[in-house]
Amino acid sequence: MKGKSSIVWLKAQAVTLLQPDIKPTLLIAVGNLSRGDDALAPLLQELIEPVIDESTTELITDFQLQLEHVLDITGRDRVLFIDAAVECTTPFSFSEQQASTEYTHTSHIMSPAAIMQVYRTITKRLPPPCFLLSIKGESFELGESISSTAEQHLQAAKVFTLAALKLSSVEDWRKLCWKPIL
């Protein structure tokens, strides 16, 4: 097989890279503030940051979902990924994610399902319950502001997110997956 080689490797050892104060709820916003509607998720975090309970909720923003986010979800009670999506048929959608071995081949951007799968593989444990809030976006050009339509979607998603954060249990979030607040 071309390029294939047998390899020898050192066993991984413990390393301490986790924050000492892990908050039970984690929100990971994915997007770029300078790329039109790609800014939806980080903008949502900016909107809710002043009013969230910092003792229980941590906010992370990143350009893309990457491998290191596997470590970020460790020790959480629940995780909410937030991202712009062109395929939404509603202003936003809210769904629970399942670990999946399916993988995005075409880029090194990872999906929440892939993050969960990697977590499961390397820890041999089930990942925390993970949810995805997709906010519908339309245009993603460098230097653009978000579109007026996306601005409306953002406001709706803000109302939903603040309401969801008031619900303390994972079961309550699961119920929202079936009856989204629009």
Between 63 and 163, CB nearer to other proteins: 63
89 binds other proteins per the rule CB under 8 A: no
30 binds other proteins per the rule CB under 8 A: yes
- For residue 165, the SS3 value is helix
- Cβ neighbours, 10 Å, residue 172: 12
Between 54 and 87, CB nearer to other proteins: 87
Label residue 144 left, alpha or beta by phi (over 0 means left) and psi (-120 to 50 means alpha).
Answer: beta
Q: Return phi, psi of residue 8, to 5°.
A: -120, 140
Burial of 102 (0-12, 13-18, 19+ CB in 10 A): exposed
95 binds other proteins per the rule CB under 8 A: no
44, two tokens:
């949502």
- Cβ neighbours, 10 Å, residue 108: 10
2 binds other proteins per the rule CB under 8 A: yes
Give residue 51's identity as a one-letter amino acid code. Answer: V
Consecutive H or E run containing 153: helix 148-165
3 binds other proteins per the rule CB under 8 A: yes
Total of residues contacting other proteins (CB under 8 A): 61
114 binds other proteins per the rule CB under 8 A: yes
Please identify which residue in 56, 98, 121, 169 interacts with other proteins, judged by CB under 8 A: 121
CA atoms of 146 and 43, how far apart (whole Å): 10
7 binds other proteins per the rule CB under 8 A: yes
Between 135 and 164, CB nearer to other proteins: 135
67 binds other proteins per the rule CB under 8 A: yes
Strands 78-85 and 57-62: unpaired
Please identify which residue in 27, 70, 150, 164 interacts with other proteins, judged by CB under 8 A: 70
The residues binding other proteins (CB under 8 A) are 1-13, 15-17, 30-35, 37-38, 42, 60-64, 66-68, 70-71, 83-87, 101-111, 114, 117-118, 121-122, 134, 137, 140, 142-143
